[in-house]
Amino acid sequence: MQAYYGDHSPFRVGVGTLCKRADSTTIRAVVQAVQEVLPAVPLHLWGVKLASLKSIDLTHVVSSDSATWHDKLYNNRQLKEAAVQAGMSVREYSIKVKLPAYIAKVQQAVARAGALPNQYEANALAVRNILQPLGWTLHIRTRRARKFAYAARRSSRETVEERYLAPLDDLRTILDRAAALPTIQS
């Protein structure tokens, strides 16, 4: 298709359902796999999160989109209140206020793209390194758009034992208290 349309056409390959992916590491792996198979083809990322835009190689990514910029996905009461306070409809407020703010965030994310992995990933890697010698691994579970860290180990063929550690946002706290991690054994 690119050969047919030429190098200066709007042609691109869409990489979809990234909004359903658990973390930036997975999204980065998906994008890298596509780039390996299609090294010179421009890509469009469907539903990619801002955190992921910051941490992936955007060399061949020419566009992306997200349905979260307007905060209307979950019938957001705060959005409605902000629109009323601004004397606008929700649609007008979304387009005049929310969209420009989101575009600025995307531009900031793209400017930092391909940098070091985001802080969550760095913290998760450090916690994995602490847990591994103790016979545990790190599991990250998502509930209602929040992520939580668990220490996990296989206790038998069919059973995986898990111990709750903290919200993913608080992994730094776990690292700061790394000396306390051996207590998960008891």
Same domain membership, residue 94 and residue 24: yes
Q: Which of 24-33, 62-71, 94-103, 168-177 has the highest mean pLDDT?
A: 94-103
Same domain membership, residue 152 and residue 100: no
Same domain membership, residue 124 and residue 107: no
Same domain membership, residue 106 and residue 150: no
Q: What is the mean pLDDT of the chain?
A: 77
Q: What pLDDT shows up at residue 186?
A: 44
Mind listing the pLDDT tens digit for each residue in 35-74? 888 887 888 888 887 777 777 777 778 888 877 777 666 5
Which of the listed residues 88, 111, 134 is the one where a domain comes to its end? Answer: 111
Residue 101 has pLDDT above 70, yes or no: yes
Residue 111 has pLDDT above 90, yes or no: no
Same domain membership, residue 149 and residue 101: no
Same domain membership, residue 156 and residue 127: yes
Q: Is 140 exposed, middle or buried (0-12, 13-18, 19+ CB in 10 A)?
A: middle
In the chain, the number of structural domains is 2
Same domain membership, residue 87 and residue 145: no
Q: What pLDDT shows up at residue 84?
A: 93
Which of the listed residues 91, 111, 131 is the one where a domain comes to its end? Answer: 111
Select the more confidently predicted residue: 1 or 184.
1
Same domain membership, residue 90 and residue 50: yes
Domain span at 102: 2-111
Same domain membership, residue 124 and residue 105: no
Same domain membership, residue 131 and residue 63: no
Question: CA–CA distance from 41 to each of 59, 65, 76, 168 (Å)?
Answer: 10, 18, 38, 35
Question: How far apart are alpha carbons 22 and 146 in whole angstroms?
Answer: 11
Which of the listed residues 111, 136, 159 is the one where a domain comes to its end? Answer: 111
